[in-house]
Amino acid sequence: MILLAKIISYIGLGLTVVPSILLLFDGFDDLQYQMLAIVGMVLWFATAPFWINRTSEEEG
């Protein structure tokens, strides 16, 4: 379950930054990457709380 949450979280981070890289090479238009950034944000905040603090405490 945690692994799945982590995978979705990282997809969310990817959607936040990758479209902006592709934008440099004309791969996206403005609305597309802004929508993807929102989707990325939702995925990250919906899943990261399930593992990120736990990982920090375990690591500590």
Q: Which residues in this chain contact another protein in the complex, by CB under 8 A? A: 12-13, 16-17, 19-21, 23-26, 33-35, 37-38, 40-41, 44-45, 48-49, 52-53, 56-57, 59-60
**Smallest distance, Å, CB 45 to another protein?**
7
C-alpha closest to that of 8 among 36, 46, 38: 46
- Collect all residues with Cβ–Cβ distance below 8 Å to 24 and sequence separation of at least 6: none
Q: At closest approach, how far in Å is the CB of 47 from another protein?
A: 10
For residues 8 and 37, which CB has a smaller minimum distance to another protein in the complex?
37
Q: In the structure, how many helices (H) and strands (E) does the chain have?
A: 3, 0
